[in-house]
Structure 1
């Protein structure tokens, strides 16, 4: 249902998961939303995303949680392995669901993007639409965004333009940019192999490989390796993956045989080692990787973007004309939490990047010992993260469709 002409205006820069979630949550609360995405299409990314229970509860706040669960696969039992196949630890899916309020939902990013975009009125999302922040606005004036089609003014701008956010650089020009962590990642989606396998993450010397199910008989694969920044892969990314992982346990070789080399995505991993001084300035809120880029090693990058989006909508609900005060509350709620999650992800990432034989042997002993102490010991690493619940507010009597 279209929003009234008198509705407050929001412009979202970036049509990734964080930007689309913010747009859907704001629209649900009565905002007139425009999403500006530089790319020609929304999330044409051949990769999966794991939505932990904290992100699912966030999506529930505007009615999208059940729809996401319906198109997902579920992370159940699995575990951590060595390249030769030996299990270091096993994941108890039931114990994790009981501890955190549900299982992890595994979704194809393109499916999630389409679901979120479908919750917006026609014409709300503009692809092939680069945008730049011209004025962050303030208590007495709207924010202004420049586009090739002309300037847009709004009571709110959401900066969801990713790790290398140009908007963040405008708002905080002296702040250090995300740094390269020393690792690069590859991702792809392929049909499930014929022989069955148990979902797993495998840790080698400075390398990891993950294989997890997606709906429709598909498998999401991610791999990581220590590498210089922007390092070339002689013979292409497929050849590089074969060199790094081709002799690892089943189903790794089968998956490498199946994948179309053109479908392999590669990205260097960057992280915000220095937290921003705030997650807003003027009438602009910064969400997701633009605010707190983190290593992917605890599966919380996308989840924290979803959290950002719904907390932003929460503080803006009923704020009237005082958007700037609401954004101060947004920073108060999000900055400490995301800083803590980034630091936790960095600690795990440092473990995955260990490469000396002695350090990797000690790591294996530590993981095996923790596993023998029971699932609670392993799951404790996500306490305070996956069990997060969104802020509560009085139920809406007439929600915006």
Structure 2
């Protein structure tokens, strides 16, 4: 049996590994000239680590990148708006890890035979019968897995009338910078702006910033330093230590819900199926869940029944996580001074266990 994966990112490689381990012939078509990943840090939460455990790679990620649960949310002046019980979160759900995106791709890629990888291959069209047209010719497979991102060719080929990506109203910047007293994962909310930081195992700090902005606008590091100059320590120092060439900016998009993730011999996963705002840090984790669930279902039940089972298991869950991700950070992007003042006054009054209860369905996933 042959599985053809369109897209060599985290979800696509994880799917290829999962099928390869089950004895399938796999082939990964990736349009980039090499299979790697740009970006900065990536938080792998307990559910994502359990998905990696299913393909035997979880311990490798844990060993290289132990991290604690998120400590909570601060206001611009440094006061805690929400403070999490990190010991309780880790006791209930298990460990967190932090890793560079490229390092995770390297781990996944190393679990595949070199001949399975075909970088520099641009897919033009995918047909429901398992035929894939690309710039190297035509390939057929028993199963085609579309893992080609938010602007997925697979999704557009199979569901040409489905709505495309929608801009959520804010841009995202990611960077790695020198450490400056960061002891754990913390996010700070302002008025239409957010700043998050997570210490990396190598001593650097992964930072992410989100600000309300028109789609397509670009803001450099100097302007970001000005925008966050009055925020609490160590935010200004972290930005001062950053290099302009280390800052990546991307507009933030989500995908409207699909009615199904499967059609014929084709399935979509990850951002191709359910791109979501990165507010819960669940994008990669959900793609990993998708990958191992798809392989288990199809290999156990056969292609037709397995695809239906994959859709039954994954579509409601990922769409729930996407909706939660959209809602959870909406107050951070309020522009009204009155609304944000009320937010900052109300959030500290919420029960300390609120996050644990609200996020339980996300973190507690098992295959």
Asked if these proteins are the same fold (TM beyond 0.5), I'd say yes
Out of 180, 184, 189, the position equivalent to 2:171 is 184
Indicate whether 1:215 and 2:201 are aligned: yes
Indicate whether 1:330 and 2:330 are aligned: no
Report the equivalent of 1:39: 32
Matches of 1:18 and 1:253, distance apart in 2: 34
Indicate whether 1:203 and 2:189 are aligned: yes
Matches of 2:81 and 2:64, distance apart in 1: 31
| Residues paired across the two proteins, number | 367
Please state how far the C-alpha of 1:354 moved relative to its aligned partner.
Answer: 1.1
Indicate whether 1:107 and 2:99 are aligned: yes
Superposed CA offset, 1:59-99 (max 9, x none): 11121111111121312462211122222222222110122
Report the equivalent of 1:284: 266
Indicate whether 1:377 and 2:354 are aligned: yes
Report the equivalent of 1:397: none
Structure 1 regions of 5+ residues with no counterpart?
1-7, 138-142, 391-401
Indicate whether 1:347 and 2:327 are aligned: yes
Matches of 1:60 and 1:217, distance apart in 2: 26
Report the equivalent of 2:115: 123
Matches of 1:196 and 1:166, distance apart in 2: 40
Alpha carbons 1:34, 1:126 under 8 Å: kept: yes
- Of 127-136 and 166-175, more deviation after overlay is shown by 127-136
Please state how far the C-alpha of 1:369 moved relative to its aligned partner.
Answer: 0.9
Give the direction of change, closer, same or farther, for the CA distance of 1:197–1:329 in structure 2 (3 Å limit). Answer: closer
Please state how far the C-alpha of 1:198 moved relative to its aligned partner.
Answer: 4.2
Alpha carbons 1:295, 1:349 under 8 Å: kept: no
Report the equivalent of 1:162: 149
Matches of 1:316 and 1:386, distance apart in 2: 24
Alpha carbons 1:178, 1:270 under 8 Å: kept: yes
Superposed CA offset, 1:280-306 (max 9, x none): 111111000110011111111111111
Matches of 2:138 and 2:304, distance apart in 1: 21
Alpha carbons 2:126, 2:153 under 8 Å: kept: no
Matches of 2:354 and 2:101, distance apart in 1: 31
What is the Cα-based RMSD across aligned positions, in Å? 1.5
1:227-246 pair list within 5 angstroms: 227-233=213-219, 237-246=220-229
Matches of 2:70 and 2:189, distance apart in 1: 18
Matches of 2:288 and 2:33, distance apart in 1: 23
- Of 254-263 and 155-164, more deviation after overlay is shown by 254-263
1:1-80 pair list within 5 angstroms: 8-76=1-69, 78-80=71-73
Indicate whether 1:362 and 2:342 are aligned: yes
Indicate whether 1:171 and 2:164 are aligned: no
Alpha carbons 1:206, 1:226 under 8 Å: kept: yes
Report the equivalent of 1:395: none
Structure 2 regions of 5+ residues with no counterpart?
none
Alpha carbons 1:73, 1:213 under 8 Å: kept: no
Matches of 2:215 and 2:91, distance apart in 1: 40
Superposed CA offset, 1:122-150 (max 9, x none): 2222222212334221xxxxx11122222
Alpha carbons 2:262, 2:307 under 8 Å: kept: yes
Matches of 2:293 and 2:69, distance apart in 1: 28
Please state how far the C-alpha of 1:172 moved relative to its aligned partner.
Answer: 0.8
Indicate whether 1:225 and 2:205 are aligned: no
Alpha carbons 1:20, 1:117 under 8 Å: kept: yes
Give the alignment's TM-score, normalised by structure 2.
Answer: 0.96
